[in-house]
């Protein structure tokens, strides 16, 4: 971990990773309860004990005292809670997606059409005819409710049904 990163405060992933380790979690509990450095995890072999303590120190959960002892950090959780998540401002259809799937449908009809058109362009070739089953398989990567998505796509004209109703296609020039 670079010095620059340390100056910005603890990182939640390091804290969670340290607490996910059974040896480190046990050592942390003992330190919180006031165990001296020598009394921390006496049952663990030297190297396992040292790794557990190093993980706690690196995560910022414990600190060295002046006498080379260990104590639980008084501010670690407060510092973690004050950190703001780094999120990029989202624009366009990305505002309505999360992890590549539809998070919510826009209330604004123009934005909804834009989202549906984008999905259609990403999913279907113009003029390509597909059975309902194939359409559903492709739309499943965007939502679990493929029936609603397919219905919206037809209602907004970004996907059409053949006159017989047996297959679907994306119109060529829309």
Q: In a 3-state reduction of DSSP, which class is residue 67?
A: coil
Average pLDDT over residues 52-76: 90
Question: Quick check: 87 pLDDT over 70?
Answer: no
Query: For 9, what's the count of Cα atoms within 13 Å in the CB-facing half-sphere?
Result: 11
The pTM assigned to this predicted structure is 0.51
How far apart, in Å, do the first and last CA atoms of the chain sit?
51
Length of the chain (residues): 174
Q: Mean of the pLDDT values across residues 98-118? A: 94
Q: Is the CB of residue 23 less than 8 Å from the CB of residue 41?
A: yes
Residue 87's φ and ψ, nearest 5 degrees, are -125, 135
Q: Give residue-wise pLDDT tens across range 12-24.
A: 888 999 999 999 9
What is the average per-residue pLDDT within 17-33?
92
Whether 77 contacts 28, CB under 8 Å: no
Q: What percent helix, strand, coil does the chain show, rounded to 5?
A: 50, 10, 40
Name residues whose C-beta falls within 8 Å of residue 71's C-beta, 6 or more positions apart in sequence: 31, 62, 63, 65
Average pLDDT over residues 62-83: 88
Instruction: Give residue 89's pLDDT band: very low, low, confident or very high (50, 70, 90).
Output: low
CB 44, CB 53: distance < 8 Å: no
DSSP of 3-63: HHHHHT---HHHHHHHHHSHHHHHHHHHHHTT--GGGSSTTS-HHHHHHHHHHHHHHTSEE
- CA gap 59, 1 in Å, rounded: 10
d(CA 69, CA 52) in angstroms, rounded, equals 15
Give yes or no for residue 5 having a pLDDT over 50: no
Q: What is the pLDDT of residue 84?
A: 65
Check residue 163 and report its DSSP letter.
Answer: T
Mean pLDDT, rounded, of the chain: 87
């Amino acid at each position: 971990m670079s010095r620059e990163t340390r100056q910005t405060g603890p990182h939640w992933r390091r804290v969670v990773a340290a607490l996910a380790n059974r040896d480190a979690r046990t050592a942390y509990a003992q330190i919180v309860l006031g165990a001296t450095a020598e009394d921390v995890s006496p049952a663990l072999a030297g190297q396992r004990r040292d790794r557990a303590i190093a993980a706690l120190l690196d995560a910022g959960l414990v600190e060295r005292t002046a006498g080379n002892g260990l104590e639980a950090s008084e501010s670690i959780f407060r510092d973690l809670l004050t950190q703001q998540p780094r999120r990029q401002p989202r624009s366009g259809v990305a505002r309505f997606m999360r992890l590549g799937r539809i998070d919510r449908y826009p209330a604004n009809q123009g934005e909804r059409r834009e989202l549906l058109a984008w999905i259609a362009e990403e999913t279907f070739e113009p003029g390509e005819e597909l059975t309902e089953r194939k359409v559903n398989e492709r739309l499943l990567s965007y939502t679990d409710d493929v029936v609603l998505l397919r219905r919206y796509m037809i209602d907004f004209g970004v996907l059409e049904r053949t006159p017989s109703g047996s297959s679907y296609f994306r119109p060529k020039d829309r």
